[in-house]
Amino acid sequence: MKNKEIRAEVITIGDELLIGQLLDTNTFWMSAELSKVGIEVIRKSTVGDNEADILQLFAEAEDRADIILITGGLGPTSDDLTKPCLQKYFNCGEVFHPEVMEHLEDLFASRSRELNESNRRQAYLPTACEAIFNKVGTAPGMWFEKADKVFISLPGVPYEMKQMMEDSVIPSLIQKYQPVPRSYRFLLTAGAHESMLSDKLAEIEPQLPPYFHLAYLPHLGRVDLRIGVELGENKENRLKELDHWTNKIYDSIEQHVFAREKISLEACLAKLLEARKLKLSVAESCSGGYIAHRFTSIAGSSVYFKGGLTPYSNDLKVKILGVDAKLIEKKGAVSEEVAIAMVKGVQSLMESDVAIATTGIAGPSGATDTKPVGLVYIAVAVGEKVYTKELKLTKKRSLNIELSATAAINLLRIKILDHKDLKTNKKIEHYSENKFEALD
Amino acid sequence: MKNKEIRAEVITIGDELLIGQLLDTNTFWMSAELSKVGIEVIRKSTVGDNEADILQLFAEAEDRADIILITGGLGPTSDDLTKPCLQKYFNCGEVFHPEVMEHLEDLFASRSRELNESNRRQAYLPTACEAIFNKVGTAPGMWFEKADKVFISLPGVPYEMKQMMEDSVIPSLIQKYQPVPRSYRFLLTAGAHESMLSDKLAEIEPQLPPYFHLAYLPHLGRVDLRIGVELGENKENRLKELDHWTNKIYDSIEQHVFAREKISLEACLAKLLEARKLKLSVAESCSGGYIAHRFTSIAGSSVYFKGGLTPYSNDLKVKILGVDAKLIEKKGAVSEEVAIAMVKGVQSLMESDVAIATTGIAGPSGATDTKPVGLVYIAVAVGEKVYTKELKLTKKRSLNIELSATAAINLLRIKILDHKDLKTNKKIEHYSENKFEALD
């Protein structure tokens, strides 16, 4: 019962995308958002800062698609051609937008910067378009209509593009094209590979009705499952079906699921910490401050995040965390024993209820005959209990940092959930056991 | 005297790329490799697993480009359409390749797996193509020639694609098309906006010869300038010209340039620290561990990075860094005075030669009448001297973290360079002044 497909083409403009200087993550995000609301992306195209190529692509895209979404090439410099090309394509003049100029002046004032001539040019837009407000940046977006097709131009700066997509572009597109609405459920997993999950769902997947869309969205050390259904007429029944199948899928992979909503692993642990009034501290050797960064990136994290220490040199492990120097000598800094000493050290130093510690060989150097690159020990403290895990990761430093942080955050999350019977102690006297029970 | 541009189009095939399920990093890498050898990528296109769309794209690409490089859609399953589409496009039959079958049998034997029917199918290729050997995977590549154009199909698995590009595709393309090689210089800047730089280059840019290519590559809080030249016959002269124009550009923006090679701002400071045998420590309130993360992400950073502290709660600023509690009460945690106390505290706690401290209101909450979201104080210590800077950043938390970290790293870099006369003191007795002079 669905009306005709709404076809979109996503266009990115910029030489830097054609010479491997800039990795395009915008169209990845945009495609996901568009497919989520039932708009089918049929083509993604990238061209350089070349007028003829850009104009040719606009014409092709107009033949193929209903919606032409363009990012990039809106900067104030001479090699940014998107605006002049659109003006040429729509064969129109340009007009001054006082509201844009006002915004530019406010923005620059708030950053105590001077507006220069090329900045002021950004307040002039083709007469054929409506301006799309860019509240977090300088370049406004543009919305052109031609018969039943639209051309939309957005800045290439990811956070500006995302804000404008969410605030105005997606809602306007839904209003204009009324795509068959879809509804989604999410099952977010950690610690399982995509193939492992698909094996566990081998029986269920073929049974899914044709109006269901199951997608595996892999991230480092994590896989999100997105279960979507086309709603159409009988919305109520479809939503019931969606919950039915989501639960069936959940049952087959339960032990890997950490959330049933779109949320980061650290934000999920953060909720748990807030609910249980637990304070967290971290001591990071191999993850080098990355776990602290992931928590402090969450707004309001000061409520539960007391602090973090990155004791990169061993003498700081001894001096600040009170790790026994002889222990480091005997077992090596990368050992389960040192991980335990670090987690206890930071927990008492920062007077936190729970704590995380990591130590490992991130690589490429630092390996020994017995300890290869990628060997990592994580330790988590919950009250007076400590749990550890040995990880054998990759040869790649950045991967080892990312994966060890994710594994450590997930281990603490699991151990807190297990701790129905955590005994109140001096460090955590500010709540009582029944507060726990209430939450399980 | 340049011969005609060699134009390439890079095509990726797969539904997973159009619904935001898989981030395409292949074409990013391929574009860089091609432009490096002087092959101009004029277009990147992505289509789904749909025969009509794929065939249409092949025809368009043949009109536009000399080289059509295709990745993806080569798997053994029924939704992989690249091979059948190429066979249709070149209107030919298929032929069995015994050498491919032999390779498949060896590969599966080595993984002690059974060859199934769909695996065996991979040894059959269109008669119109030559097989490209895939020594690390199952799907062979395909090389088709049509007049003076080539279609090349490679697997979408990144390490298989890269191996085949390096081992055979790039060398064959160079041999066939003899592209005009290019040479590049980089000027990396921090603390200046793209528009500010373009104003300063307003006179020079129009003077650049037509065989020069200047690109602004903006990052958060930083802009890279890439100056490229086509080498052609008189390579020596062109390289001289490249240095001439690079120096002219450098002279007009000198104060913003931190490096003349592709390197991150933190890696640039790291080199300086290593060269001067300086140890770094950081105390991060508003940047929350991100500066530590940026340094510890660099291989070998333990040489100069002693450690970092994220004293997120004020009591830790007092207890661990020895910041005067009364000072925090009087001036507020977000103040120049506290930033200074933090940087001195961490420098002496971690016994480092230089140090960085950040404190600010990352937002969205935490603002007061006198202190808005985005207000940040950074302090850097170089030996016994301390320098501070007040920043008025944005309303967005993630941006404020990124920008304050970048500004702090850059401030320390600049202050170390200024310190020709840094007096040796107890904290830094392991080197002497003339070590400095040697480096300036």
* 3 state SS of A101: helix
pLDDT tens string B233-283:
888 999 999 999 999 999 999 989 999 988 999 999 999 999 999 999 999
Q: Which of B426, B425, B424 is nearest to B434 (CA)?
A: B424
Residue A437 falls inside a structural domain? no
Q: Which domain holds residue A295?
A: 265-432
B297 has a pLDDT exceeding 90: yes
Band the pLDDT of A429: cuts 50, 70, 90: very low
Check CB contact of A147 with chain B, cutoff 8 Å: no
Pairwise pLDDT comparison (A230 vs A304), residue with the higher score? A304
pLDDT band at B76 (very low <50, low <70, confident <90, very high): low
Asked whether A316 and B350 are in contact (CB, 8 A), the reply is yes
Q: Which of A17, A39, A46 to mutate to test the interface with B (most CBs of B within 10 A)?
A: A46
Cβ-proximal residues to B99 (8 Å cutoff; 6+ apart), any chain:
B131, B133
Contact B356/B408 with Cβ under 8 angstroms?
yes
Q: Which residues 6+ apart lie within 8 Å of B284 measured at CB? A: A289, A292, B290, B291, B292, B308, B309, B310, B356, B357, B358
Instruction: Kindly tell me if the per-residue pLDDT of A384 is higher than 60.
Output: yes
Is B424 a member of any domain?
A: yes
Q: Which residues contact B221 (CB under 8 A, 6 or more apart)?
A: B190, B191, B402, B403, B406, B407
- Please report the DSSP string for B257-280 in residue order: EEESSS--HHHHHHHHHHHTT--E
Distance CA A299, CA A196 (A): 34
Chain B residues within 8 A of A220 when measuring between CB atoms: none
| Contact of A270 with A209, CB cutoff 8 Å | no
| Residues B312, A291: C-beta atoms closer than 8 Å | no
**What are B103-106's contacts with CB under 8 Å, separation 24+?**
B103/B133, B103/B134, B103/B135, B104/B138
Distances (CA, A) of A94 to A72, A78, A337, B45, B174: 19, 17, 69, 31, 45
B24 close to A (CB below 8 A) = yes
Q: Is residue A439 part of a domain?
A: no
Report whether A386 contacts A438 (CB < 8 A): no
- CATH code for the domain in which residue A194 is found: 3.30.70.2740
Chain B CB within 8 Å of residue A67 CB = no
B225-247 residue pLDDT tens:
989 898 878 889 999 999 999 99
Q: Do A272 and A364 belong to one domain?
A: yes
* Pair A244, A275 in one domain: no
Whose CA is closest to B196, among A247, A75, A311, A21? A75
Which of A30, A42, A75 lies at the smallest CB-CB distance from B48? A42
Cα Rg for chain A, rounded, in angstroms?
26
Nearest alpha carbon to residue A378 among A208, A175, A191: A191
Per-residue confidence band for A440, with pLDDT thresholds at 50, 70 and 90: very low
Tokens of B1: 């005297």
Kindly report the CATH number assigned to the domain that includes residue A388: 3.90.950.20
**Contacts A316 to B, Cβ<8 Å:** 306-307, 350
Pair B199, B141 in one domain: no
Last residue of a domain, one of B225, B259, B293: B259
- Give the residue among B399, B28, B357, B23 at the shortest CA–CA distance from B219: B399
Confidence of residue A223 (pLDDT cuts 50, 70, 90): confident
Arithmetic mean of pLDDT, B21-46: 89
Per-residue pLDDT band for B410 (boundaries 50, 70, 90) equals very high
Residue B1 lies in a domain: no
Question: Of all helices (H) and strands (E), which one includes residue A174?
Answer: helix A170-177
Residues of B in Cβ contact (< 8 Å) with A15: 213, 215
What local confidence, expressed as pLDDT, does residue A435 receive? Answer: 26
Residue B237 lies in a domain: yes
Interior angle at CA B129, CA B126 and CA B134, nearest 5: 95
Tell whether A171 and A192 lie within a shared domain.
Answer: no
**Does the pLDDT of residue B191 top 80, yes or no?**
yes
Say whether residue A93 is in contact with chain B using an 8 A CB cutoff. no
In a mutagenesis test of the B interface, which of A122, A310, A352 is the best target, namely the one with the most B β-carbons within 10 Å? A310
Closest-CA residue of B relative to A51 is B42
Q: What mean pLDDT do residues B197-224 have?
A: 89
B342-389 pLDDT, tens digit per residue, is: 999 999 999 999 999 999 999 999 899 999 999 999 999 999 999 999
Show Cβ contacts of residue B263 under 8 Å, excluding neighbours closer than 6 positions: B188, B271
What pLDDT score was predicted for residue B424?
37
Residues of B in contact with A17 (CB under 8 A): 31, 44
Whether A77 has its CB under 8 Å from any CB of chain B: the answer is: yes
pLDDT for position A361: 96
User: Is residue A86 very low, low, confident or very high in pLDDT (cuts 50, 70, 90)?
Assistant: very high
pTM: predicted TM-score of the whole model, two decimal places? 0.79
> What is the residue whose two structure tokens read 């050390």?
A221
**B398 part of contact set with chain A, CB < 8 Å:** yes
Complex prediction ipTM: 0.79
Q: Categorize the per-residue pLDDT at B77 as very low, low, confident or very high, splitting at 50, 70 and 90.
A: low
Q: Considering the domain boundaries, does residue B437 fall inside one?
A: no
CB contact under 8 A, A299 and B48: no
**Which of A177, A206, A237 marks a domain boundary?**
A177
Instruction: Choose among B60, B349, B396: nearest Cβ to A136.
Output: B396
**Does residue A43 sit within a domain?**
yes
Residue B439 has pLDDT above 70, yes or no: no
Average pLDDT, chain A: 89
- B270 and B385 share one domain: yes
What integer is the mean pLDDT of B181-189? 90
Question: Are A67 and A144 in a shared domain?
Answer: yes
- A236 and A105 in a common domain: no
Task: Give the span between the Cα atoms of A169 and A414, in whole angstroms.
Answer: 39
Mutant choice from B17, B18, B78 vs A, greatest count of A C-beta within 10 A:
B18
Same domain membership, residue B196 and residue B125: no
Q: Is B338 within a domain?
A: yes
* pLDDT, mean over chain B: 89
| Number of domains within chain B | 3
Contacts of B333 in chain A (CB under 8 A): none
Angle at A347 between CA A344 and CA A350, to 5 degrees: 140
Rounded CA separation A335/A328 (Å): 8
Task: Decide if A9 contacts A41 (C-beta within 8 A).
Answer: yes
Give yes or no: residues A112 and A14 share one domain: yes
- The more confident residue out of A228 and B281 is B281
What are the distances in angstroms from CA B117 to CA A296, A342, B155?
52, 54, 19
A82 and A206 together in one domain: no
Alpha-carbon span A431 to B14, nearest angstrom: 53
CA nearest to A332, candidates A292, A263, A286: A286
The amino acid at A179: P
> Is residue A431 less than 8 Å (CB to CB) from chain B?
no
* A69 and A152 housed in the same domain: yes
Domain end marker among B177, B208, B226: B177
Residues B298, B418: one domain? yes
**Closest CA of chain A from B308, distance in Å:** 5
